[in-house]
Amino acid sequence: MRSSHIRRLVGAFLLSACAVSPVWAQSPAQSPVQSPAPKRGGDIVMTLDATGMAILNTELTSQSPALWMADVWADGLLAHDAAAHRVPHLATSWTISPDGRIYTFHLRQGVKWSDGQPFTAKDVAFTLTQFGKLNPFLTKLTPLVAKVETPDEFTAVITLTQPVTAALELFDKENFELMPEHIYAGTDLATNPANRKPIGLGPFKLDSWEPGRSLIFVRNPYYWDQPKPYLDRVLVALAPSAQQQLNAVIQGEADWMQFLDFSQVQQAQQAMGNGRFKVVKIVINAPERASLDFNLRRSPISDVRVRRALFQATDRQRINADAYRGLAFPATSAIPEQFTNLYDPSVNYTTMYPYDPAAAGKQLDEAGFPLKDGKRFSLELAYAAGPPFDAIARSIAAQWLQVGVDVRLTGTDAQIWADKVYHKYDFDVSLTSLTGRSDPTLGVDRSFVCNPAPISYTNPTGYCNPDLDRIAAAAAAAPEDQRKALYKQYEEIVARDLNEITLTNAPTYNAVSTRFANLDAQFNISFNEHPNWAEAWLPNSQ
């Protein structure tokens, strides 16, 4: 299929997806006949909202659309399979020193970047030393990197100042996408054109990007795992409306929709009868949690009594009903419940801060903010517009108004919101949804550990507690059987200080075409929600 034809397909997608029709009226599609072995050919369409997305380089942004597209063009040292087992990618093997400080990665030989230039250990060293300090998932690791050595072209040795139990998780391709030294060396990393047209090691490479409309990725001829990829092209159709995206999947115009809005799950499950797609609930090792960040630089929320009162004025069950259609549940502490070996249930927000507007009002009185003409003070709540944030924000505003707190909602596109919150610190309260990743060192510490630099999606509150930082560092380095006790102390400190309150813990749902062969094996979404586009293939491709 030619690029011009794909662009016409995007136009058809955007037009047809706007029309909402009864999904159960569609004619059932025939189930694909499974082929005994993968074969090459075919184009697929993934659809997502990339409003405000300016770059694709996920070393510089953790916006979800960029992360999902990184699976198409980028790669890393290692990855996980659907059963959460580590598998080699650009590193064929690795060893860890007995003291847990030295990681030696043996790299795949003969690999080339998508521009045909050779990949070597120097690229690994460059990525870690130059991009590591800008990557929001590596903020705990990079200060502990003592040195990075490349004794030969295919060996990278990383020495840490102290052990980090979850270090291999940090070197996973979802957190540590490799970047080419020959493209970035000697340039301004933030403004390099490759951030918009990346050179990568993934199965596909970017062919074109029409802002607000589509991106087209074509097969990378230098991909290290030949004969993969099997697909010819991956088309990303950009659609700001979640309903538009779902309609496209239902009607067979798109093959994959990431992150169904919770208001759509029932509709999508009913529509599965047409045979064109299936709804996949992600049994995820990276819990998604809606949270509120408080800007401690500003009054009155610099007063912990006010933050505690606002927590008690928040009905999280109502938020679950309003925004998640009952599919989420209230989070109970800073450490996600899914981390069963680390989470301590004795720290429980539900019992510590039960929904009680009367008690919240009394606390605000005692903090010196009595009602005057029905109001106490005003706050701005900033968030990236779109589901589920619109519904969460409206619910919070209505609830806090009941205790006399007037909330001004500022919903903007994701890029403007991120700059406002994480770089300018121009907010009172910020609503976000952060994944816990696969370990607190990756996904939780970034909300609570002291962060003096403006890094996106990393503690914008101004909260710096040396005790919390010390415990976080100890928990990150401790043997597995000693970490839970440390994380209990971590939970207790966060529950006391509340620079961020965690509202909900929610699963996620994907809508995926039945055109793909052997879906559950080929798509790695059951573990970390990232499709394995190198493995995907179409039995009926022509």
Task: Report if residue 536 sits inside a domain.
Answer: no
Give the range of the structural domain holding residue 19, as residue numbers without chain letter: 3-73+202-284+507-528
Q: How many domains does the chain have?
A: 3
- Tell which of 156, 184, 212 closes a domain: 184
At residue 155, φ and ψ (nearest 5 deg) are -135, 130
**169-201 tens-digit pLDDT:** 888 888 899 999 999 999 999 999 999 999 999
β-pair partners for 257: 47, 511
**Axis-axis angle for helices 304-312, 357-366 (nearest 10):** 170
Instruction: Say whether both 299 and 344 belong to one domain.
Output: yes
Instruction: Say whether both 111 and 125 belong to one domain.
Output: yes
Instruction: Say whether both 107 and 237 belong to one domain.
Output: no
pTM: 0.77
Residue 401 is predicted with a pLDDT of 98
Q: Are strands 233-238 and 214-219 parallel, antiparallel or unpaired?
A: antiparallel
Instruction: Say whether both 351 and 279 belong to one domain.
Output: no
Instruction: Say whether both 330 and 263 belong to one domain.
Output: no
Residue 526 is predicted with a pLDDT of 52
Task: Report if residue 396 sits inside a domain.
Answer: yes
Looking up residue 208, the CATH number of its domain turns out to be 3.40.190.10
Q: Provide the 3-class DSSP secondary structure of residue 339.
A: coil
Instruction: Say whether both 34 and 59 belong to one domain.
Output: yes
Residue 29 is predicted with a pLDDT of 36
Task: Report if residue 533 sits inside a domain.
Answer: no
Instruction: Say whether both 365 and 278 belong to one domain.
Output: no
The one-letter amino acid code at 431 reads L
Looking up residue 133, the CATH number of its domain turns out to be 3.90.76.10
Task: Report if residue 540 sits inside a domain.
Answer: no
Task: Report if residue 195 sits inside a domain.
Answer: no
What one-character-per-residue DSSP string does 124-168 give?
Answer: HHHIIIIIGGG-GGGTTTGGGEEEEEEEETTEEEEEESS--TTHH
10 Å CB burial of residue 155 (0-12, 13-18, 19+) is: middle
Instruction: Say whether both 298 and 270 belong to one domain.
Output: no
Instruction: Say whether both 66 and 110 belong to one domain.
Output: no
Torsion of CA 68, 72, 77, 78, to 10 degrees: 70
Task: Report if residue 189 sits inside a domain.
Answer: no
**239-264 tens-digit pLDDT:** 988 899 999 999 999 999 988 888 89
Q: Are strands 500-502 and 277-281 parallel, antiparallel or unpaired?
A: unpaired
Instruction: Say whether both 167 and 254 belong to one domain.
Output: no
Instruction: Say whether both 399 and 488 belong to one domain.
Output: yes
**What average pLDDT does the structure give for the chain?**
88
10 Å CB burial of residue 351 (0-12, 13-18, 19+) is: exposed
Instruction: Say whether both 152 and 46 belong to one domain.
Output: no
**221-238 tens-digit pLDDT:** 999 999 999 999 999 999
pLDDT beneath 70: ranges in the chain: 1-36, 82, 283-286, 518-529, 542
Task: Report if residue 534 sits inside a domain.
Answer: no
Task: Report if residue 329 sits inside a domain.
Answer: yes
